[in-house]
Structure 1
Amino acid sequence: MADVLIPSMTTVAGLFSLTDVAPLLPFAEVGGEANVGAEAAPLILAGVLLSLMVIYLASKVGGELCARINLPPVLGELVGGVAVGVSALHLLMFPEAGAVEAAPSVLVSFLGTTTGAGTETAIAVSQTYSEVISVLAELGVVVLLFEIGLESDLQELIRVGPQAAIVAVVGVVAPFVTGTLGLIYLFHMTAIPAIFAGAALTATSIGITAKVLAELQQLSSEEGQIIIGAAVLDDVLGIIVLAVVASLAKTGEVEISNIVYLVISSVVFLVGSIVLGRFFSPYFVALVDKLQTRGDLLLSSLIVVFFLSYIATAIHLEAILGAFTAGLVLAETDKHKELEEQVIPLADMFVPIFFVCVGAKTDVSVLNPLVPENREGLVIAAFLIIVAIIGKVITGFTILGQPEINRLAIGVGMIPRGEVGLVFAGVGSASGALSRPLEAAIIVMVILTTFVAPPMLRVVFQSSNSGEPALSAEVASATAEDIET
């Protein structure tokens, strides 16, 4: 099953150890034998430090620029990532496992020159420290989902559960069916590539949407709770869809046992974690109250977060589901306000790494129509983008009996594909199921839905709030620091 399931949170599970880098480092010899570990560790650390410096600089510059033109700062973090990544400055590069760049990036050359190790050696360790950054990015989205879980109301999520379920199911079925059939009958594609592309249309990036909702102070609104609930369910459904299409691409047939396993394990994990968590939460609070060392609440909470995230990963679900569940459970305790305040600095440290890396890994060169091989992909991309947007926007209009709710905001909140869509493209590319034009089309769809959704979400919420004085006053009184947080 592990060969079939390729969840995004576990793609860097094979992080190199220092001894794995040994064959790549030819220069260090002590006593006639290569002393690789002693030489590699400082160089890897130096690469990580340089990368983090670039990431935080891109995050702050992009975020500040967007904040000053009234756009969500998270959009600036994504744009900053594009600027320093594969599409522009080539400061942050994330090569495939086992691949070594023919031409070193600026950061790699700078690392080799300033440390005296040489460019060849810097290239040899660049994949290792890039994977370290990828792990930190994954930790960033875990922390983000934990923070979102803390700010969410479990009772409200349960209350909007039926609406969220409808939104999630329609948001998966509508774009999948429309995209797959359109590619087969309009573009005359074979079934497996069409199904793979249709599956990529089902994704929703809960991380990006949740961050924008938090910035707009709409996370606790009814629309925000429905979006978050639907995005969580959408993530579970996305894992199932990914398992199915990966199996289809590999074997030519769907393994029903995998689907059944994923459905059962998802339900048992989510429901079981919440039920057991609510039972044990009083004991957790009592234990924290007895601790006398620094970080008593934060570190104890992170133990819970990482434990549930590990369990989710171990049973082939997403680690972010475990983190979100931990946030929901701990939000029900008397310590939740204090914990929210303590998590903010942690989120400020790790979350920007995630968003900048998403942008850095995105190759916007596929948007260039002057390159002949890009044109077919752009035509297919135009179709996929239309289906991707309409297929999610209609989900908001499936909610009936609540005339006051902002249905358009719910639909727009489900649009961004983000890193989830890139995972589908990556799995399809690795399986050989996707042609170059179709792979480029999927990437273009992911890029545009990711970058268009945040400003659209702000517009639809602001237009609906213009007639609500109480909420407008609350937003107007918020400080710039609060919004940034």
Structure 2
Amino acid sequence: MAWVPGFPALSPLIPLLATAPPADGPLVLAGVLVSLVVIYLASKLGGELCYRINLPPVLGELLGGVVVGVSALHLLVFPEGGGESSNSLIMAFLQATTPLEPNAVPPTFEAVSEVMTVLAEVGVIILLFEIGLESDLTELLKVGPQAATVAVVGVAVPFVAGTTGLMLLFGVAAVPAIFAGAALTATSIGITAKVLAEIQRLTSREGQIIIGAAVLDDVLGIVVLAVVASLAKTGEVAVSNVIYLIVSAAVFLIGSILLGRFLSPYFVALVNGLKTRGHLLISALIFAFLLSYVGAAIQLEAILGAFAAGLILAETEKRGELEKQIRPIADMLVPIFFVVVGARTDLGVLNPSVPSNREGLVMAAFLITVAIVGKVVTGLAVFGQPQINRLAIGVGMIPRGEVGLVFVSVGAATGVLYPPLRGGNCDDGDSDNIFGSPHCCG
């Protein structure tokens, strides 16, 4: 099976599209178009509703995704969450309005789902590029020590508290407890940055500390993921892999910014020499996607490369013009990411009337508490800033998203996170797991 670095969602799409009959192409496109209509309607209605009650519109986009997703209307259903084509109302709509044969529904459903996943991943890359453009590298460097302290505390406290709590209070085996605790470490820079931008606090001192800490959080989270994934697969930690990730992360972030600042005058000169339409935007996107690819290729996250590219180009004289040109692109792609995240959220696992959910609910309540408290206390770690709002910093570090979802997917794929820990149930008959959990459900 082909594999595309940094975009695992593309991997199953390649053979799928290669083997699908030619007639499926237009039907896949039709499914993607209908899905986009649903996504944009959900994001706009949810965003407008939240805006009118003085809440961040991004919250409305997430809630809109929940409504149209697996938790409610079943319009957007994804196979990664156990969804099937028979449960997708979009597939039913396609069957009713197009010549889609019943035997072609499953491959069409898979293809549409993968396309939407890829578009969501591109959307979060554009979001981080835009956030980088709106950030001030000089201010980020000024708060660097405080951001580093916040990041380290924000990783260590949830990880230790979550792991030890699961082992002592719930009797969870060591490896799945470590994995679940590690999933609490990384702050969602995408969600956090979007909210800060919407409330116009992105460039504040607190905002810069949060963004800097969230970037470092992601790097540390990836290192932690490498450690626990190695532990899950082999029972021991590959020290060489951990060292590689730490060194590559430092070299990539520092090197790309330093090299980018050196080469930025040449970028401006090149753009000024181009005469065709979209010369600035396309050149900037080439640069952003190139750094995103490098970040993904060296086993970091593509979004870190996009953020670094935005920081670099923010130092040029083209910053203001580029910010204006990237906004329509962000308005088109970023909502896809937030709605897809919401659509994949299955609130059915929170139903206490289902016996198989109860153990997971108790664990979830504990982990949510650890996740919130473990980040709020990071504000207390800020030093040398007597007038800073420490509570705001702690609250700004709470959101989880991209890296946390990676943890869950890796944990579920390796069998480390048995159903109650990953928000599932035992309906598939999984009564045990390979890492010695004493039970699955109750």
Q: Equivalents in 2 of 1:324, 1:96: separation in Å?
A: 27
1:91 aligns with 2:88: no
Stretches of structure 2 lacking an aligned partner (at least 5 in a row):
426-442
Deviations 1:218-262 (A, max 9, x none): 000000000000000000001111111111111111111110010
Q: Please give the alpha-carbon distance, in whole angstroms, between the structure 1 residues aligned to 2:114 and 2:107.
A: 13
Structure 2 residue corresponding to 1:44, chosen from 28, 33, 39:
28
Unaligned 5+ runs, structure 1: 26-35, 443-485
Count of residue correspondences:
424
* TM-align CA RMSD: 1.9
Aligned residue for 2:385, secondary structure, equals: coil
Aligned in 2, Cα 1:236/1:22: closer, same or farther, shift over 3 Å? closer
Q: Which residue type is aligned with residue 270 of structure 1? A: L
1:181 is aligned, of 164, 187, 201, to 164
What SS does the aligned partner of 1:232 have? helix
Indicate the percent of aligned positions where both proteins have the same amino acid. 67
Match of 2:220 in 1: 237
| Paired position in structure 1 for 2:334 | 351
Between the aligned partners of 1:182 and 1:190, the Cα distance in structure 2 is 11
Structure 2 residue aligned with 1:72 = 56
Residue identity opposite 2:265 in structure 1: P
Cα contact 1:112–1:120 (8 A) shared by 2: no
Give distance in 2, aligned partners of 1:399 and 1:185: 31
Q: Which amino acid aligns with 1:133?
A: M
CA contact (8 A) 1:104 1:123 kept: no
Paired letter, 1:60: K
State the secondary structure of the residue aligned to 2:13.
coil
Deviation at 1:355, TM superposition (A): 0.3
CA distance in 1, matches of 2:85, 2:318: 52
Which of the residues 281, 285, 293 maps onto 1:310? 293
8 Å CA contact retained: 1:100, 1:124: no
Distance 1:102 1:49 in 2: 17
1:279 aligns with 2:262: yes
For 1:277, the aligned partner's letter is G
TM-score, reference length from structure 1? 0.85
What pairs up with 1:365-384 in 2 under 5 angstroms?
A: 365-384=348-367
Contact 1:140 1:353 survives alignment (8 Å): yes
Aligned residue identity for 2:73: L
Output the CA distance in 1 between the equivalents of 2:184 and 2:217: 11
Instruction: Indicate if the aligned counterparts of 1:100 and 1:127 stay in contact, CA closer than 8 A.
Output: no
Determine helix, strand or coil for the equivalent of 1:16.
helix
Shift of 1:438: 1.6
The alignment partner of 2:54 has SS state of coil
Matched, 1:81 2:42: no
Residue 14 (structure 1) aligns with: 11
Secondary structure class of the residue paired with 2:317: coil
* Matched-pair contact (CA < 8 Å) for 1:84–1:91: yes
Q: How far apart, in 2, do the equivalents of 1:382 and 1:16 lie?
A: 36
**Displacement, 1:419?**
3.1
- C-alpha displacement at 1:441, in angstroms? 8.4
Bigger mean CA offset, 373-382 vs 149-158: 373-382
CA distance in 2, matches of 1:338, 1:418: 30
Q: Which of 168, 176, 196 lines up with 1:213 in the alignment?
A: 196
Post-superposition offset of 1:422: 2.1
Which residue among 275, 280, 285 is the counterpart of 1:297?
280
1:165 aligns with 2:148: yes
Structure-2-length-normalised TM-score: 0.93
In 1, are the aligned partners of 2:85 and 2:105 still within 8 Å (CA)? no
CA deviation after TM superposition for structure 1 residue 420, in Å: 2.4
Cα distance in 2 for partners of 1:441, 1:415 equals 23
8 A Cα contact 1:183 1:194, kept in partner: yes
Distance 1:379 1:348 in 2: 38
Aligned partners of 1:100 and 1:123 also within 8 Å: no
Superposed displacement of residue 10, structure 1: 2.7
| Residue in structure 2 matched with residue 435 of structure 1 by the alignment | 418
Change (3 A) 1:22 1:230: closer
Q: Which amino acid aligns with 2:143?
A: V
Helix, strand or coil: the match of 2:79?
Answer: coil
